[in-house]
Amino acid sequence: MKQQELEKSKEYKYGFITDIESVKAPKGLNEKVIRFISKIKKEPEWMLRWRLKAYNRLKNVKEPNWQKPKYPKINYQDLYYYSAPISAKDKPKSLDDVDPKLIETYKKLGIPLKEQEKLTGVAVDAVFDSVSVATTFKDKLTEKGIIFCPISEAIQKHPDLVKKYLGSVIPITDHYFATLNSAVFTDGSFVYIPEGVRCPMELSTYFRINASETGQFERTLIIADKGSYVSYLEGCTAPMRDENQLHAANVELVALDDAEIKYSTVQNWYPGDKDGKGGIYNFVTKRGACRGKNSKISWTQVETGSAITWKYPSCILQGDNSIGEFYSIAITNNYQKADTGTKMIHLGKNTKSKIISKGISAGNADNTYRGLVDINKKALNSRNYTQCDSLLMGNKCGAHTVPYIKNKNFSSIVEHEATTSKINEEQLYYCNQRGLNQEEAVGLIVNGFCKEVLQQLPMEFAVEAQKLVGISLEGSVG
């Protein structure tokens, strides 16, 4: 076996920090901090009350511990819950009002806001450390009646919509991190697509955690009204840090009759160095409710960052004929741990769900797929197809599949398959003999393994995802 080569040069591409003065809430989690957050965001009374309700409940709820990756106890009092760059305290009226230092940061991230319009046509709502700085394309979207803005803005400008749907898919009472998020969420995206409208472009959000010890608690709410369509991209980067950083987001999707929401994520959090120090803790709650008939929600994700990943994007298939899909690639290397999967709850008739999960473990990493397919008694004629495949590289890593299947309806069909394999040495040899070096060969084979999922990603992300797959597996074949 070849010796592992330490490649210091291929460092985490996005590892840099911006030195901007930040307005920070005092450390700690208490009622004062929550009022501080609500005040600085100029929220109406009902929003503050909602937060406090969640905070009060938090006192009676315990952190869950059934998941496989164990993490060191988080001291919630030792974190800052709000940090915003000063120049963004009062909303900028146009890009020109934005601190040029911030704009430079965005350039480094590869999203030149000013040139966005000409190149890709992707509207970007850049969340920089708890406050949204700039929102482009508002005008084009406003033409169609589409609302795409930071959630803090939506609370003020569209309170009825927010009140109606916030917390309706992930209630405050759901579990510890959902409750925590409900109390201290700082920002996120709000999307509303009106009846019959097909959103003409991919909507996306780039955000990063900057200030040290700030957990990111972002809250996203996407509502697709009858007959509408939207494709939303979530991409994340984070700087290198020594202390672990917490990311506990809540994402709620609501699809009404005949509507479709496509939600794609390419997660590129800092995974911790080769010895497992540092890195992001990614505990996210994502849930989609297919409320209406014939509605459809699909989750596509490529997870390669995070020291610990813990997320189960789910679909509640309420409306008859609704469809839920989950496509995922989870890659863990070095000392990363992932416990991820999905829940498909079939309530309505003729509902369909499809789960394709590809897990790749290398180094000393641990990768667990945890899924639930629950076919309710009344879910006549429903179908589920699940395929989870694991690829192991080396024998110090582990792959674990834990699928729960509950079928209470005799007219429904549930199919589940799982396989485990390794990268065949013979396959590598074959690629080598055709002139590909070890890295290229591994990249090719792994991309082939993940193909079904990669095909689901919107074009912009597919290329970044493929490269990410390659970088994440460096040093894994020795």
Partner 1 sequence: MLEIKNLQASINKKTILKGVNLTIKPGELHAIMGPNGSGKSTLANVLSGKNGYEISGEVNYRGKSLNNISVDERAQKGIFLAFQYPLEIPGVNTNNFIKTSLNSIRKSKGKEELDTLAFLKLVKEKSSELGIDEKILSRQLNVGFSGGEKKKNEILQMKILDPNLSILDETDSGLDIDALKIVAKGVNSSRNNEKSFLVITHYQRLLDHIKPDFVHVLSDGKIIKTGCGGLAEELEKTGYKKLK
Partner 2 sequence: MHNFEIDSTQIDKIKKITTEEKSFRIKNLEFFKATGFPNKRFEDWKFSDFKDIVDKNFKELDTKKVSSNIKKIDLLRDFEHNYILLLNGNLHSSNFDHEDKNKITINSYDKSIDYKRSKNPLVCLNHALAENGYSLEIDKGYKFNKVLVIYNLFTKDIKNKILNNKNKIKINEKSELHVIEYTINESKSKFINNVYESIVLEKNSKFKSLFIQSNKSDGFFHKFLKNKLSLNSEYLNLIFSSGLKFNKLDIECDLVEENSRCNILSALFLNENEHQEIKTLINHLAPNCKSNQKVKNVLSSNSKGVYQGKIYVKDIAQKTDAYQLSKALLLDDNTEFNSKPELEIYADDVKCSHGSTSGNIDHESLHYLMTRGLNREDSTKLLIKGFLSDIIEFIKNPKIKKFIESMLEKQINEH
CA 116, 119, 120: angle at the middle one, nearest 5? 80
Beta strands 22-24; 83-85: pairing state: antiparallel
Q: How far is the CB of 422 from partner 2 (least distance, A)?
A: 4
Closest approach of partner 2 to the CB of residue 313, in Å: 20
Which CB, 414 or 454, lies closer to partner 1?
Answer: 454
Does residue 412 contact residue 380 with C-beta atoms inside 8 Å? yes
Of the candidate residues 213, 452, 460, 464, the single one contacting partner 1 (CB under 8 A): 452
Binding footprint of partner 2, residue count (CB under 8 A): 33
393 belongs to the binding site for partner 2 (CB under 8 A): yes
Among 92, 394, 458, 470, binds partner 2 (CB under 8 A): 394
**Shortest Å, Cβ 468 to partner 1:** 17
Min separation Cβ 411 and partner 2, Å = 5
Closest CA to 22 of 184, 214, 205, 279: 214
Look at residue 407 and give the partner it binds from partner 1, partner 2, none, a contact being a CB closer than 5 to 8 Å depending on partner kind.
partner 2
Which of the ranges 55-63, 183-191, 192-200, 406-414 carries the binding residues for partner 2, by CB under 8 A? 406-414
Ramachandran class of 422: left when φ > 0, alpha when ψ lies in -120 to 50, beta otherwise = beta
CB of 244 to partner 2, least distance (A): 25
Q: What is the DSSP string of 180-219?
A: HHHHH--B-EEEEE-TT-B-SS-EEEEEE--STTBPB-BE
DSSP 8-state symbol, 198: B
378: left (phi over 0), alpha (psi -120 to 50) or beta: alpha
Is 75 among the residues that bind partner 1 (CB under 8 A)?
no
Query: Hey, which residues between 323 and 382 contact partner 2 (CB under 8 A)?
Result: 377
Given candidates 112, 403, 458, 470, which one binds partner 2 under the rule CB under 8 A?
Answer: 403
Which one of the spans 170-178, 249-257, 290-298, 389-397 is the region binding partner 2 (CB under 8 A)? Answer: 389-397
Cα 147 to Cα 161, 182, 221, 368: the distances in Å are 11, 22, 11, 37
Cβ atoms of residues 270 and 238 within 8 Å = yes
Spatial CA neighbour of 216 closest among 326, 54, 82: 82
**Residues binding partner 1: what is the number (CB under 8 A)?**
23
DSSP string, 156-173: HH-HHHHHHHTTSSS-TT
Across the strands, what pairs with 64?
Answer: none
Q: Count the neighbouring beta carbons within 10 Å of the beta carbon of residue 164.
A: 11
- Residue 101 corresponds to which tokens in the numbers above? 């230092």
4 binding partner 2? (CB under 8 A):
no
Residue list 407-436, contact with partner 1 (CB under 8 A): 424, 426-427, 429-436
Work out whether 16 is an interface residue with partner 1 (CB under 8 A).
Answer: no
Structure tokens at 255: 């699809």
Q: Judged by CB under 8 A, which of 267, 268, 298, 409 binds partner 2?
A: 409
Spatial separation of the C-alpha atoms in residues 39 and 186, rounded to whole Å:
12
Told to check if 65 binds partner 2 by CB under 8 A, we report: no
Residue 20 or 450: the one with the smaller Cβ distance to partner 2 is 450
Instruction: Say whether residue 459 binds partner 1 (CB under 8 A).
Output: no
Q: Which amino acid is at 424?
A: N
Supply the minimum distance, in Å, between the C-beta of residue 371 and partner 2. Answer: 10
What does 417 bind: partner 1, partner 2, none (CB cut-off 5 to 8 Å by kind)? Answer: partner 2
Chain contacts with partner 1 (rule: CB under 8 A): 424, 426-427, 429-438, 440-441, 444-445, 447-452
